[in-house]
């Protein structure tokens, strides 16, 4: 199916793009509302971000099969910006956070122009997963109280976790019922193998249950009810609150504090974490693309930057290339960027035509979705995976997680990267070789050989990626010769392995691994050269 007029400007689309766009819309709608709510932004701000990410960003250079929109990974940064910049006034904090978003978007566009998007490629997976696990714990610590209908007195993540038993003892029964049922659906639905169940997004099932129950409990009207000889109050404060129209949802940035130290800190956080998350998501989605099409990371970052600029200027959340929705998009059969566009158009139509229906959604249901997301980010399986890769990766994961919880994302990631360098030096790698590894490239027939001398670690990945970018179609084998390096780290092996997924016509072969001792039996574990006896 194609449109001849639009086809002059945009690529053709298929029926599966419409279907996948609709499915992603069903997933994105409640998540966008919930992410905005958890970020200290008005709930509609998340939908604005998703609409801009779909309708605008799809055709200004976006990676083909990625879905652009708000992500749980940026909740902690957004909420911190609102709270610190607002100093007790959430509306002022929101508008000042929008100004931070504008500057961060310009930085992302600048990064794309100097081709710095690949900074995400060199990030240690263990550091990134540690950061995301910390974000997951922070999300759970905050949203679990909303699931129970309680406002906690604590502010910091560990204190909020410690306050959970108190909130459970004082939970609002009706709100708790909505929250618990929502959690049960979210955790149980993926385990059911029935095709008709798996075809319906779990968040949609949650809404199909939570909205009628909210109506049954008459949450629209403030009233007191008695349960087990205790009085409880419910009312509209437990429902999503939206403006009457999209025009009323538009908010403009307040630039009065944009050059303050606090603003600059959050500009750096939004720029770096958003860029890293988005880049890694694009790489992951490229690996899932049935056609194995490699995206231009810098072009995609520029598209994200443009989207973030527009979103922040009109009151929306920051966006990235979101991995979960992108995977759902591919699973639904998406063929092109049109699926992302349709997801944005469906959001726009729903919010424009049925805004009152959104205001029937209980906040506890949205909070349950975020708790579920947080538990997946901080899943014990991430800890087990890090352990399987070796004690060094476990140390990186745990250190990044704990430092992030104790301080903030920027310091946590910085400490993780510094620790990684210290570990490499401790293994005997001269500091200079970490940044000045020699790379030789040789082409012989259909074989491309890349030989490294020094170290094969995260700091020299970009040079290797540059060597295999735009791989000629007649290259059927890429050989990476590691015979002359001292150490090989997990980041190097994992990223090289991911790069190979982008070559539909070529195979990857690593040479020289026999002379190295691996940290564990995992094929991607770090290695150091064995001492000859």
Burial class of residue 392 in the structure, from the number of CB atoms within 10 Å of its CB (0-12 exposed, 13-18 middle, 19+ buried): buried
Q: Are residues 463 and 335 in the same domain?
A: no
CB 47 within 8 A of CB 33: yes
pTM to 2 decimals?
A: 0.91
Identify whether 300 is part of a domain.
yes
- For the chain, what percent of residues have pLDDT higher than 90? 73
Domain boundary among 352, 369, 386: 369
Residues 224 and 90 reside in one and the same domain:
yes
The domain total for the chain is: 2
Any domain includes 388: no
Domain-ending residue, one of 322, 352, 369 = 369
CATH number of 452's domain: 3.30.750.24
Assigned token pair, 178: 């909505």
| Cβ atoms of residues 85 and 355 within 8 Å | no
Per-residue pLDDT tens over the stretch 164-196: 999 999 999 999 999 999 999 999 998 988 887
Are 438 and 315 part of one and the same domain? no
In degrees rounded to 5, what are phi and psi of residue 482? Answer: -110, 20
- Which pLDDT score, from 0 to 100, does residue 204 have? 93
| 391 within a domain of the structure (yes/no) | no
In a domain, 374, yes or no: no
Q: Has residue 431 got a pLDDT over 90?
A: no
Distance CA 206, CA 30 (A): 10
The verdict on 365 and 478 lying in the same domain is: no
Range of the domain at 520: 431-529
Alpha helices per DSSP H over 2-124: 4-7, 15-38, 43-51, 75-86, 90-113
462 and 355 in a single domain? The answer is no
Q: Are residues 444 and 358 in the same domain?
A: no
Over residues 221-245, mean pLDDT: 94
Q: Is residue 235 part of a domain?
A: yes
- The values of phi and psi at residue 19, to 5°, are -65, -45
Q: List pLDDT tens digits, range 288-297.
A: 888 777 788 9
Residue 418 lies in a domain: no
Q: What is the pLDDT of residues 365-393, one digit of tens each?
A: 999 999 999 999 999 999 999 999 999 99
* Alpha-carbon distance values, 435 to 431, 438, 455, 463, 528 (Å): 8, 9, 9, 11, 17
Residue 297 within any structural domain of the chain: yes
List Cβ neighbours of 35 (8 Å cut-off, separation of 6 or more).
Answer: 46, 70, 71, 72, 75, 317, 370
CA distances from 15 to 19, 59, 101, 346, 523 (A): 6, 18, 35, 15, 41
Q: Select from 369, 397, 422 the last residue of a domain.
A: 369
412 occurs within a structural domain: no
Q: Is the pLDDT of residue 35 over 70?
A: yes
Same domain, yes or no, for 138 and 267?
Answer: yes
């Amino acid at each position: 199916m194609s449109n001849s007029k639009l086809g002059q400007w945009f690529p053709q689309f298929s029926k599966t793009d419409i279907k996948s766009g609709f499915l992603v819309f069903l997933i994105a709608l409640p998540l966008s509302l919930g992410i905005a709510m958890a970020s200290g932004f008005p709930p509609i701000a998340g939908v604005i971000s998703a609409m801009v990410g779909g309708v605008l960003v799809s055709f200004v250079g976006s990676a083909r099969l990625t879905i652009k929109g708000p992500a749980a990974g940026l909740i902690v940064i957004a909420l911190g910006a609102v709270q610190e910049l607002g100093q007790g006034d959430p509306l002022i904090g929101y508008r000042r956070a929008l100004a931070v978003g504008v500057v961060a978007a310009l930085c992302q566009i600048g990064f794309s122009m100097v081709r710095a998007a690949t900074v995400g490629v060199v990030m240690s997976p263990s550091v990134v997963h540690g950061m995301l696990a910390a974000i997951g714990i922070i999300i759970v610590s905050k949203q679990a109280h909303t699931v129970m209908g309680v406002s906690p007195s604590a502010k910091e993540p560990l204190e909020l976790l410690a306050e959970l038993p108190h909130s459970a003892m004082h939970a609002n029964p009706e709100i708790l019922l909505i929250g618990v049922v929502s959690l049960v659906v979210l955790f149980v639905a993926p385990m059911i193998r029935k095709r008709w169940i798996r075809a319906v997004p779990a968040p949609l099932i949650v809404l199909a249950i939570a909205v009628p129950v909210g109506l049954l409990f008459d949450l629209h009207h403030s009233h007191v009810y008695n349960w087990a000889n205790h009085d409880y109050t419910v009312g509209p404060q437990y429902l999503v609150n939206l403006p009457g129209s999209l025009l009323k949802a538009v908010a403009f940035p307040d630039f009065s504090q944009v050059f303050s130290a606090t603003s600059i800190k959050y500009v750096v956080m939004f720029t770096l974490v958003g860029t890293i998350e988005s880049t890694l998501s694009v790489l992951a989605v490229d690996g899932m693309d049935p056609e194995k099409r490699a995206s231009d990371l810098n072009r995609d970052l520029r598209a994200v930057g443009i989207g973030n600029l527009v979103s922040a200027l009109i009151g929306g959340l920051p966006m990235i290339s979101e991995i979960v929705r992108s995977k759902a998009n591919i699973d639904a059969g998406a063929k092109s960027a049109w699926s992302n566009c349709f997801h944005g158009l469906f959001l726009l139509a729903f919010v424009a035509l049925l805004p009152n229906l959104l205001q029937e959604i209980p906040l506890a249901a949205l909070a349950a979705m975020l708790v579920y997301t947080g538990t997946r980010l901080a899943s014990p399986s991430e800890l087990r995976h890090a352990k399987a890769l070796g004690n060094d990766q476990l140390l990186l994961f745990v250190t990044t997680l704990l430092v992030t919880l104790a301080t903030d994302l920027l310091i946590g990631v910085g400490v993780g990267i510094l620790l990684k360098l210290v570990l490499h030096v401790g293994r005997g790698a001269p500091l200079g070789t970490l940044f000045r590894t020699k790379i030789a490239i040789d082409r012989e027939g259909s074989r491309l050989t890349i030989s490294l001398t020094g170290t094969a670690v995260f700091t020299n990945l970009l040079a290797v990626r540059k060597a295999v970018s735009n791989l000629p179609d007649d290259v059927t084998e890429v050989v990476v010769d590691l015979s002359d390096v001292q150490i090989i780290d997990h980041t190097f092996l994992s990223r090289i392995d991911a790069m190979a997924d982008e070559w539909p016509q070529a195979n990857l072969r690593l040479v020289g691994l026999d002379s190295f001792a691996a940290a564990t039996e995992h094929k991607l574990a770090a290695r150091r050269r064995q001492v000859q006896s």
